[in-house]
Structure 1
Amino acid sequence: MINSISTKPSRLKDKRRKLLRKKITIVFLLCLVLLISLSLISRSKGLLIKDFEINGNNITKSEDILKVVNSKISGNYLFLFSKKNILIYPRSEIKASVLDSFKRISNIKIEQGESQLITLSIEEREGEYLWCNYFDERETDECYFVAKDGYIFSEAPYFSGDIFFRFYSYLGDNPVGKNIIESEKFKRLMFFKNNLLKLSINPHLFFIRGDGDYEFLFNNTSFNRWEAPKIIFKTEDDFEEIYKKLEMVLRTDPLSLNFQEKLSSLLYIDLRYDGKVPFKFK
């Protein structure tokens, strides 16, 4: 008896494999053609950004902003699709890079205009205060502009006198991009400062001591800046409660009588303790 093995199933499998390979090859080629076509379309002049319009910037130079923007739209995605394409340009990257490069800029709005024009609307921070470096128990001339939320954003020129309210502390070699203290706490602190005027106290300087406690020094032209009368309080103190405590002290003898006259000989009022408020005259 002669045995034989059928080769038909094997041939059928080979045909199926070949057919599958052809299909895969065709799909691959179609995808490749599609990618190349989309790549070419993404580079067509009708879809490329023609220009940028920048407005709202008073201090930051437009050409400096453009350098950052152009660095983000140069090149291609995956070596195929142009980053200058008005439909797929890296809007989020541009915004993040501009904000990171220019600390004076607080916000940027990017909009698509007509004729492939992109508009960048800039909002800049304004200098409300000065922060000055203080370390090794000495003041330096190194001062920076501070926004209303306590954010340090730019080096400041030298100012004589008290044109700006000043903050002194030590924040390292490069304070730009840092907050003097946490933003919400800073706003409460400034509210406290402004309320001091109701008590006939005009602070001109805020000092964060080495131990972390705070000092407000009063404005008095007869004194050296650091020899002026001051109030001292803790970092963790509630500013509203501190204000009430100070108000009570100033209504009590001996400070209640002719406070403005006594101010010239006052050294400090210390509000850091519960149940007592030490103060000292010269």
Structure 2
Amino acid sequence: MKDIKSTYKKNGSTNVSPEPTSKKSGKRAPRRNIPGRLFLIVLFIFGLYVGFGYLVSIEPLRVETISLSGNNVIVAADITPVVKGYLKGYRFWPYRNDSIFVLQKKDIKEALFLKFKRIEGISIKKVGLKEVEVVVEEKEGQYLWCGEINSLGSEDTCYIIDANGSLFDVAPQVSGDAYFKIFGGQVDGESPIGSEVFSLEDFNKIIEIKDELDLHKLSPIALLLYDDGLIEFIKKTEDKNLYEGARIKFTLLVDYKEAIDNLLSALNSEPLKSEFAEKEGLLQYIDVRFDNRVYYKFK
């Protein structure tokens, strides 16, 4: 049977209507299981995390030995317990703190700095797979703080001062003038260690004045620090009593550099120049606290 096509004329032309077609039936695309795949990925990553944690925490990779180097006063017996305290437990499960690969260097350094004020610098090195070496640099102190002024000559305990003017350790019992001693000032708290007797600015002024005095036959062995800003350097003497030497008086409230210039000018001018050369051992005091004036007295 022939297909019948409908035709009609319009404006003298013949149009042919399209042949009706049947709608094609299509297949539905399979739905992807996204949540399941994400779960497998997360499970795989977690497995790697746990597996690697157990791997780096096996016994052959655990720290057993702690060594100390660079020390002069601090001993290994004091350092070791602090370090071992950070080797216990887990950093985060299953990563053990005593694993050579999980070592908490930053935390150990902070704990050692906090406990030992004598330490200037620290580095922590891994030696093989089972040893940690703690390398310390200790502060060097040339000056001592020995308490209040009234303890002058009878000081029992002195403390070493670091380059920033802080007290960082008890000084060894040393007689004589091996150390420059400072008396006066106050400290905060029950223990002087870690305290500052004076500001860093004032401390630097004091040391600069001391260094100038050392260069001009006025080497001081001690300093008296008063509350009103007055400071008295005690000149080194051959007398049996170390603190019987002449007093050189300054104040921290005015320009100390100008005071030093005035002192040096007076020492190089008459009449003090000749008197000092002849009667140095009899000098009682030199006072440079006043503008452009130097007062002195001999016994």
What is the TM-score with the length of structure 2 in the denominator?
Answer: 0.74
2:235 is the alignment partner of 1:198: no
Post-superposition shift, 1:214? 2.0
Post-superposition shift, 1:57? 1.5
Distance 2:88 2:266 in 1: 65
The one-letter amino acid paired with 1:85 is S
Post-superposition shift, 1:76? 1.1
Preserved contact between residue 149 and residue 184 of structure 1 (Cα < 8 Å): no
2:177 is the alignment partner of 1:159: no
Post-superposition shift, 1:258? 2.4
The one-letter amino acid paired with 2:137 is E
Secondary structure at the aligned position of 1:92 is classed as helix
Residue 187 of structure 2 corresponds to 171
Residue by residue, what CA displacement relative to the aligned partner does 1:71-96 show, whole Å, maximum 9, x if unpaired? 12222123432122222311111122
After superposing the two structures, state which structure 1 stretch, 59-68 or 147-156, moved more.
147-156
Q: 1:45 aligns with which of 48, 54, 59?
A: 59
Residue by residue, what CA displacement relative to the aligned partner does 1:107-141 show, whole Å, maximum 9, x if unpaired? 12222233443222222223423221116x44442
Preserved contact between residue 276 and residue 283 of structure 2 (Cα < 8 Å): no
Residue 105 of structure 1 corresponds to 119
Secondary structure at the aligned position of 2:274 is classed as coil
Residue 10 of structure 1 corresponds to none
Distance 1:141 1:45 in 2: 51
Q: How many percent of aligned residue pairs carry the same amino acid?
A: 28
2:86 is the alignment partner of 1:72: yes
Secondary structure at the aligned position of 1:220 is classed as coil
Residue by residue, what CA displacement relative to the aligned partner does 1:147-202 show, whole Å, maximum 9, x if unpaired? 45544322123333323221122324422234554557645643432332332212
Preserved contact between residue 151 and residue 179 of structure 1 (Cα < 8 Å): yes
Residue 126 of structure 1 corresponds to 140
Residue 12 of structure 1 corresponds to none
Post-superposition shift, 1:70? 0.9
Secondary structure at the aligned position of 1:142 is classed as coil
Residue 251 of structure 1 corresponds to 268
Secondary structure at the aligned position of 1:232 is classed as strand
2:275 is the alignment partner of 1:279: no
Distance 1:260 1:100 in 2: 51
The size of the alignment, in residue pairs, is 266
Query: Are the structure 2 counterparts of residues 76 and 244 from structure 1 closer, same or farther at C-alpha, using a change threshold of 3 Å?
Result: same
Secondary structure at the aligned position of 1:64 is classed as helix
After superposing the two structures, state which structure 1 stretch, 163-172 or 66-75, moved more.
163-172
The one-letter amino acid paired with 1:48 is R
Distance 1:206 1:41 in 2: 61
Residue by residue, what CA displacement relative to the aligned partner does 1:251-282 show, whole Å, maximum 9, x if unpaired? 34442222155445544322222232333455
Distance 2:287 2:83 in 1: 52
Between Structure 1 and Structure 2, the one with more helix by share is 1
Preserved contact between residue 107 and residue 124 of structure 1 (Cα < 8 Å): yes
Gaps of 5+ in 2: 1-30
Preserved contact between residue 229 and residue 253 of structure 2 (Cα < 8 Å): no
Secondary structure at the aligned position of 1:97 is classed as helix
Post-superposition shift, 1:20? 6.2
Equivalent runs, 1:131-142 vs 2, <5 Å: 131-134=145-148, 137-139=150-152, 140-142=155-157
After superposing the two structures, state which structure 1 stretch, 235-244 or 192-201, moved more.
235-244
Preserved contact between residue 231 and residue 269 of structure 1 (Cα < 8 Å): yes
After superposing the two structures, state which structure 1 stretch, 228-237 or 69-78, moved more.
228-237
When Rg is computed on C-alpha atoms for both structures, the one with the higher figure is: 2
2:225 is the alignment partner of 1:208: yes
Gaps of 5+ in 1: 1-14
